[in-house]
Chain A
Amino acid sequence: MKPAPFEYATPTTLDEAVALLGTPGARVIAGGQSLLQDLRWRRTSASLLVDIARIEELRGVHDDGDRVRIGARVRHVDLERGAVGGPLGRLLAATARWIAHPPVRSRGTMVGSLCVAHPSSEWCGLAAGLDATVELVSVRRRREVTVADFLRDSFTPAAGPDELATALLVPVLPEGTRVGVVESRRTHASYAHVAAVAALLPDGGSRLGLAGAAPTGVRAHAAEAALARGDDPGAAAAQLDADPREHPHAPIPYTRHVAGVLVRRALQEAS
């Protein structure tokens, strides 16, 4: 379980980093908690790892009033410790606590999780539910892609090999928003089976995100609409928002059912 050889670079500026990503086979490493696993299993390869740990521009969290910009170097543990304020910050902190365990949370990053696009990634479910946007930079251009477009399929983010995901831009949740997040998993150290993230907005609207219920994290539009109509959001989530794949320990009907249950529970936690 030792990785094949690769080169390694630690650029200190974004320009340098994206220039290096022009190298064929170059990959970005942030926390590396998924990438290094895959390299060890030799199920992915890299000629060059571009480590973004020293790029000042990718640090930290910035709130412009409309959106919170979470830089590519922001780790799970930073969000767990309250790097973001307000209702959104509370939701991020509560969600972070479900991710893996402290030694992984102290290395792994939120943007990195989006780029791995694991089907049961809590961050992918949250980012989809809140209609967040990924910022991508290459030597060619800087662009923004909605998470819905970014998460095309499991492990298949919509980023070119020369693009660096520099930040996740998450719409601010207004004061008075109530939040909840719940998860089902087989042990405390396992991946999520399904996770549900809920935000009840002060205007009566809602934002619901699901992880593990579909090939990627999704916004539970049908459940939100059902909630607005006064119908059961759980049933809508199970029947319409969930689109699970078969798993050895979770047949499709069970996963649909769990998505419904967890949407109800996340809403209950928020209310």
Chain B
Amino acid sequence: MELDVNGTRHEVTVEPRRALADVLREDLGLTGTHLGCEHGVCGTCTVLLDGEPVRSCLVLAVQATGHEVRTVEGLADDDPLPGVFAEHHALQCGFCTPGFLMLLRGALDEDPTVVDDDDRLDALLASNLCRCTGYEGIRNAARAAGTRPD
């Protein structure tokens, strides 16, 4: 099958049962996408599929054929999100970070004002789990990313 990841087309042979997350990690070596629960709850495996955030543990790789996959490795060099996450201490162990970055990248691309309203922001961030930070740094980083031109 063909898989279009971060602008590169890959030819891979995989079983239909293989999750997109496993193909990204094990077959393509893109280990920035993590697996934390494998049932769609924690969000560490969040990637963009045609620009929309999805759980790559709940998408089969074969379902992603014909669609554009974007992972944390595919964030633009000048994407402000990684920098604001570091600046606002939005991470400790860093395991959840790629998932939050992709969740926010997808949401900000769709509507940059989503981070300006506390209720909308919390509803968005509640998609993913972080066990280290208590979320304050993540909230602050998200707000900062929204106010910067990208």
Contact = CB atoms under 8 A, between A and B. Distances in A.
Direct contact of A and B (CB under 8 A): yes
A254 interface: no
Given A2-B17, A8-B16, A103-B127, A40 B55 contact: no
Contacts of B127: 101-104, 189
Interface in B85-128: 103, 106-107, 122-124, 126-127
Contact of A32 (B15, B38, B52, B58): B58
Nearest to A101: B127
B15 A103 contact: no
Interface in B51-77: 52-55, 57-60, 62-63
A242 B103 CA distance: 37
Contact of B17 (A6, A10, A106, A188): A6
Contacts of A104: 40, 55, 58, 127
A102 B127 CA distance: 7
Interface residues on A, range: 20 to 34
B41 interface: yes
Contact of B103 (A10, A32, A39, A103): A103
Interface string B20-51: 00100000000000000011110100100100
Majority DSSP secondary structure for residues of A touching B: loop
B58 to A, nearest CB: 5
Contact of A5 (B15, B39, B107): B15
A7 B60 CA distance: 12
Contact of A188 (B22, B103, B123): B123
Contact of A8 (B19, B40, B62, B103): B62
Contacts of B123: 97, 101, 188
Interface of B: 15-17, 19, 22, 38-41, 43, 46, 49, 52-55, 57-60, 62-63, 103, 106-107, 122-124, 126-127, 129
Given A29-B63, A40-B57, A103-B54, 12 more contacts: A5-B16, A32-B58, A36-B40, A36-B58, A40-B38, A101-B124, A101-B127, A102-B103, A103-B40, A103-B55, A104-B127, A189-B41
